[in-house]
Amino acid sequence: MSRVLVLNGPNLRRLGTREPEIYGATTFADLEALCRETGQRLGLAVEVRQTDDEAQLVRWVHEAADERTPIVLNPAAFTHYSYALHDALAQRTAPLVEVHISNPAAREEFRHTSVVASVATGTVAGFGTMSYVLALQAVAEILAEQERAGA
């Protein structure tokens, strides 16, 4: 069973109370359960983490790179300005799917730029917490394709 890290940036632990008109009523605990259940169905060992600390997020990305672990990443506000996160992600050794609950392109102009997108395998955004399900499905498909190709 392939291990996948689902990493979440600042304020995501506040899901369910933070701007429910944008992020919905789903709590972070609900999101964790959704990711684990989706992973189990897809044959992935999913570990969900959240931090408000940019340095911690960078350390987790380094860990994933060293262990060749795929990442599903919601960088949250770090999406738009964290070149430290960009540089850490550029060292990735496995698939990386950027994920967002809302659609950043449909929000304030400062949210339209992602410094993560250029180093990600792909991005899923705007589908609520279903974005995580779609991202995990993408990781599972990429890993299966790599396995078939003998990578």
Query: Which residues are tagged catalytic?
Result: 23, 100
| 77 within 8 A of 9, measured Cβ to Cβ | yes
pLDDT tens-digit profile of 65-88?
A: 999 999 999 999 999 889 999 999
Residues 6 or more apart from 24 whose CB is under 8 A from it?
Answer: 15, 16, 101, 128, 129
CA 63, CA 17: separation in Å to the nearest integer? 31
Q: What is the pLDDT of residue 69?
A: 98
CB-count burial class (<10 Å; 0-12, 13-18, 19+) for 62: middle
* 74 marked as part of a ligand binding site: yes
Q: Could you report the per-residue pLDDT of 4-43, keeping only the tens digit for each?
A: 999 999 999 888 887 666 666 789 999 999 999 999 999 9
What pLDDT does residue 25 have?
77
103 is in an annotated binding site: no
Give the H or E element holding residue 74.
strand 71-74
102 is in an annotated binding site: yes
Mean pLDDT, the chain, rounded, equals 92
Phi, psi of 88 (to 5 degrees): -65, -45
Tokens describing residue 150: 């003998």
112 is in an annotated binding site: no
pTM: 0.92
**What residue ranges define each of the domains in the chain, with the CATH number in brackets?**
2-149 (3.40.50.9100)
* pLDDT at res. 20: 65
CA end-to-end span of the chain, whole Å?
16
